[in-house]
Structure 1
Amino acid sequence: MNREMKRRIMAVGGILICGASVGIFQKIALGTDPFTCFVTGIANICHSTYSTWFMILTAVILVGVAVFQRHYIGFATLMSLFLTGVAADAMHEFLDFLLPDPTFGMRCLLMAVNVLIMSFGSALYYVASLGVSAYDAVALMASECYSLASFRVCRVTTDICCVTVGFFLAADVGIGTVITAFFMGPFVQWFTEHVAIPILDGRCSGRNQQFRPSKA
């Protein structure tokens, strides 16, 4: 398998895994990542599904990105638009069938495992480097193209805005939101170094390398 095909498989696999993890967060109702919180809130007030509003809101953001900084858009960006919401809804429905009424202990266990699942999927998606998600592009544009602040500050700002809107629109804001905000970064870095880069380039190539969402 050539390197380009491997990157595409990693990107699609990472997107599907991240989408499925969103569905798990929604099922256990202990809080979700900031953008999911925002999308869920909008879907709640419109009495619609997460996948529908994920595609709508992501498409709106992508129009802005395409107009001002289209180099952030790539293969993975478009795959994320069409696959993330569908994977989330499918996983949620599957868990409704498999675990219709999970106990609090089961929900906590699923949350702990799911942070690792989302971190693994994110690592695959980032290392593939075939474009960034629409949400990632907002903070990247603000920091790299317009120098408003550092990437970290811009990302925290967008996260806070999303969580605030989601909270007032009755989305799940809880311990899961806090955990994804503070613990996903180190887990993503570990999976990047020890799993994703070795998959792409060889067993030892990931050591001491740093990754974040990149341009296409």
Structure 2
Amino acid sequence: MMMQEKVRRIFMSIVGVIVTGFCVGGLQKANLGVDPFTCFVTGIANLLHSTYSVFYLVITAMLLLFVLLIRRHYIGLATLLNLLLTGVSADFSYQVIDKIIHQPTFIVRVVLMIGSIIVMCFSASLYFTADLGVSGYDAVALILANKFTCVPFRYWRILTDGFCVLVGFTFAVNIGLGTVITAFFMGPFIQFFTIHIAEPFRYQNKQILSN
């Protein structure tokens, strides 16, 4: 049984990370606003007159160092998968969607955006629940929820996402509908999928306790 659960956790991590990348590609094609972390990194890059790629690496490295010092438990297989697979799967999904829907209408873009966000929340719940590591940014809200248990994860995620959007907006990043939706609804949606799908799949007949 323990081995079966371990296999399920690895499966959840791999699928969760790859599907998250696919959803990033969907959001890019929808072109209705970036996610909060991208918004934050772009804002800092604008402030320091640098590029997104440079500060993505710098900020990600700083977050991973923070997580290693505070709660290294969140660094694991999924962390490595995030670094290696998210960008590749995002580029792949964008190219596939672009070939199928080269010039989507506004309605199609809205549907693509909403679908990508919902599926992204589901995939994030998979690799969070697998507990084999998360990205540096994802770990921040998880650490806060673990340390201050009186406030559920979904509210910490809204707070961290909202902070990122505020920084991006302050430093001339264009805020779109997708940015607002991800900032205020990803946390609650992730927790919903965690409670109703991800945890039952991982633990199966075991008793589950969630915030």
1:100 aligns with 2:92: no
Partner of residue 134 from structure 1, selected from 118, 133, 136? 136
Amino acid at match of 1:17: V
Q: Matches of 1:176 and 1:205 in 2, distance apart?
A: 37
Amino acid at match of 1:197: E
Q: Secondary structure at the match of 1:31?
A: coil
Shift of the 165–190 alpha-carbon distance from structure 1 to 2, 3 Å rule, reads closer
Q: Secondary structure at the match of 2:81?
A: helix
TM-superposed deviation, 1:175: 1.7
Q: Matches of 2:4 and 2:158 in 1, distance apart?
A: 37
Partner of residue 125 from structure 1, selected from 124, 127, 147? 127
Shift of the 138–4 alpha-carbon distance from structure 1 to 2, 3 Å rule, reads same
TM-superposed deviation, 1:29: 1.5
Q: Secondary structure at the match of 2:198?
A: helix
Q: Matches of 1:31 and 1:16 in 2, distance apart?
A: 21
**Residue-by-residue CA offset, 1:25-56 (whole Å, 9 max, x unaligned):** 1221112321132345567875666xx86455
Q: Secondary structure at the match of 1:24?
A: helix
* 2:26 and 2:94 in contact (8 A); partners too: yes
TM-superposed deviation, 1:96: 2.6
Alignment partner, residue 184 of structure 1: 186
**Residue-by-residue CA offset, 1:45-92 (whole Å, 9 max, x unaligned):** 75666xx86455323321232244423322222222222222222222
Query: Number of residues paired by the alignment?
Result: 205
* 1:22 and 1:36 in contact (8 A); partners too: no
TM-score, with length taken from structure 1: 0.75
Name whichever of 36-45 and 9-18 sits farther off: 36-45
Q: Secondary structure at the match of 1:102?
A: coil
* 1:197 and 1:205 in contact (8 A); partners too: no
TM-superposed deviation, 1:11: 0.9
Alignment partner, residue 91 of structure 1: 93
* 2:76 and 2:134 in contact (8 A); partners too: yes
List alignment gaps of at least 5 residues for structure 1. Answer: 212-216
1:210 aligns with 2:190: no
Q: Matches of 1:24 and 1:193 in 2, distance apart?
A: 25
TM-superposed deviation, 1:152: 6.4
1:159 aligns with 2:150: no
* 2:162 and 2:184 in contact (8 A); partners too: no
Partner of residue 118 from structure 2, selected from 116, 119, 127? 116
Alignment partner, residue 214 of structure 1: none
Calculate percent identity across the aligned residue pairs.
Answer: 46
Alignment partner, residue 12 of structure 1: 14
Alignment partner, residue 80 of structure 1: 82
* 1:143 and 1:154 in contact (8 A); partners too: yes
Alignment partner, residue 174 of structure 1: 176
Shift of the 184–160 alpha-carbon distance from structure 1 to 2, 3 Å rule, reads closer
Alignment partner, residue 40 of structure 2: 38
